Amino acid sequence: MEEAGIVFFLLQFFLLHFLKIDAVELDTISRSRFLTDGDTLVSPTGIFKLGFFQTGSSEHRYLGISYKKIPVTTVVWVANRNHPLMGASPHVLKIDSPGNLLLSNNISMIWSSNTTTASGNVTATLRDTGNLVLMDQNHKVLWQSFDYPTDTLLPGMKLGYDYLRGIEWHLTSWKSIQDPALGKLTWGSDTKNYPESKLKQGKMVKFRGGPWKNTRIPGGSQFQRNLTTELSVVITEREVSFSYNLDNSSFLPRVTLNSSGQLESWMWVEDGKKWQLAMSLPIDVCDTYSICSAYGICRLNRFGQSCGCLDEKRFVPRNQKSWETGDWSGGCVRRTPLACKNGSEGFIKYSDIKLPDTKSTWFNMSMSLEECEAKCLMNCTCMAYANPDVSLQGRGCLLWLNDLIDIRAYSEGNGGQDIFVRMASSDLSNDLFLMQLLFHYAYMPSN
């Protein structure tokens, strides 16, 4: 009996350690079930998998999440971005006794979820959303990969802040197409003012997505004509976040910030067995951050882009000469400076524009537009107001407390919004242009 037991044990040992030909597909990682090279952790319906991968010709190996159900390897999340596993040394992903999800080679720890407070039976599973989740035995989430995005925003993932847990969600590009290490480019919300996404290289803003709003975007191009993308914004004391969802997830939508600084929105086309680019931002030169400076507005025309003042009647270039030579860095100023005497000012409405940078703003999303106007008028530093999110039953107030920068024009119905800009009372009349014309002719010598 004794001998049979030993033989059985040896046989099992042999089978486990030397005949491990087929990669194992796990549905759960626990204290007793590890993930080693070649194994994968698979989501319930097999959309995503977690496993080790290599990029290009490098010897570096990474632990990452990719799609299981498509033939093109597409990595959406990487654990050890800056700490690749080298060479062929054995490595393992396991849950250690304090409850960390731990990636190590035979020598040292490479990456850890740092969740040491957990106790009891901790397990890790991969959800069909692409979220790797570490839970305790009561199914309380201890850690999730969605809280630590790499370069890809999947449906349901968030950008913004979780103030309670002190987490900031943003994308960071790969260093290069072959190297998942942290790149220089980020996409996220950078202020605690009214939230909007900014694409930055280091500290420098390259592109701004515009103030966040709840909206539904019907599909544009031919293959996605019937698709609707829903953008969801949460603005509370606890959380400020942005996320998106598609009404048909079979297209495996994903948004990535690529290593050359372009945001790309992709869909999987089953027929063609390939990824199709649905959208890429920035779109054109008018998306270049603050290209026309303060109170300037960028328009696309047949010859490319051009900067104008927000309104040629009420604004003039700060420096006419350089403006004419195409140096727009001075921006524009009001023809009639604001005096901020009580009752002497009002607002002019501009439509179909991208709302300016929200860097210096104040907001209250329960105020009506009338209350918003009154609030702006009361404060001399308030330069404009708008409702950034018209989906909130007409409520929502955003005040700009500084010069208005990074404005572009959209053609009607293409997502532009209304803004109300503070003006001296003498500039409020819509007949201003007519009056100037009359003056002009009145003082012209008659032939």
Our finding on whether 177 is near ligand NAG (CB under 6 A) is: yes
Q: 162: which residues sit within 8 A by CB, 6+ positions away?
A: 147, 168, 169, 238, 239, 241
Q: How many residues bind ligand NAG (CB under 6 A)?
A: 31
- What are the beta bridge partners of residue 234? 241
By C-beta, is 7 or 177 nearer to ligand NAG? 177
CB 382 within 8 A of CB 399: yes
- Residue type at position 163: Y
Nearest to 45 by CA among 69, 28, 66, 65: 69
Our finding on whether 58 is near ligand NAG (CB under 6 A) is: no
How many other β-carbons are positioned within 10 Å of the β-carbon of residue 124? 25
In the three-class reduction of DSSP (H, G, I as helix; E, B as strand; rest coil), residue 86 is classed as coil
Which of 250, 411, 426, 436 is close enough to bind ligand NAG by CB under 6 A? 250
Which of 12, 58, 89, 228 is close enough to bind ligand NAG by CB under 6 A? 89
By C-beta, is 275 or 329 nearer to ligand NAG? 275
Our finding on whether 47 is near ligand NAG (CB under 6 A) is: no
By C-beta, is 73 or 364 nearer to ligand NAG? 364
By C-beta, is 380 or 435 nearer to ligand NAG? 380
By C-beta, is 181 or 401 nearer to ligand NAG? 401
Instruction: Please state whether 131 falls in left (phi above 0), alpha (psi between -120 and 50) or beta.
Output: beta
Our finding on whether 119 is near ligand NAG (CB under 6 A) is: no
| 18: enclosing H helix or E strand | helix 2-18
Find the binding residues for ligand NAG in span 398-427 (CB under 6 A). 401
Residue whose C-beta lies closest to ligand NAG: 262
By the 10 Å C-beta count (0-12 exposed, 13-18 middle, 19+ buried), 13 is classed as exposed
Which of 9, 13, 15, 28 is close enough to bind ligand NAG by CB under 6 A? 28
Our finding on whether 248 is near ligand NAG (CB under 6 A) is: yes
**What does the block give as tokens for 242?**
């942005």
DSSP 8-state secondary structure symbol assigned to residue 250? G
Find the binding residues for ligand NAG in span 272-311 (CB under 6 A). 277, 280
CA distance 270 to 208: 33
Our finding on whether 136 is near ligand NAG (CB under 6 A) is: no
Nearest to 331 by CA among 402, 436, 259: 402
Our finding on whether 260 is near ligand NAG (CB under 6 A) is: yes
CB 244 within 8 A of CB 227: no
Our finding on whether 236 is near ligand NAG (CB under 6 A) is: no
What minimum distance in Å lies between the beta carbon of 222 and ligand NAG?
Answer: 8
Find the binding residues for ligand NAG in span 372-391 (CB under 6 A). 379, 381
CA distance 59 to 9: 35
Binding site for ligand NAG (CB under 6 A): 28, 30, 89, 106-107, 112-114, 121, 123, 177, 226, 248, 250, 258-260, 262, 264, 277, 280, 342-343, 362, 364, 366-367, 371, 379, 381, 401
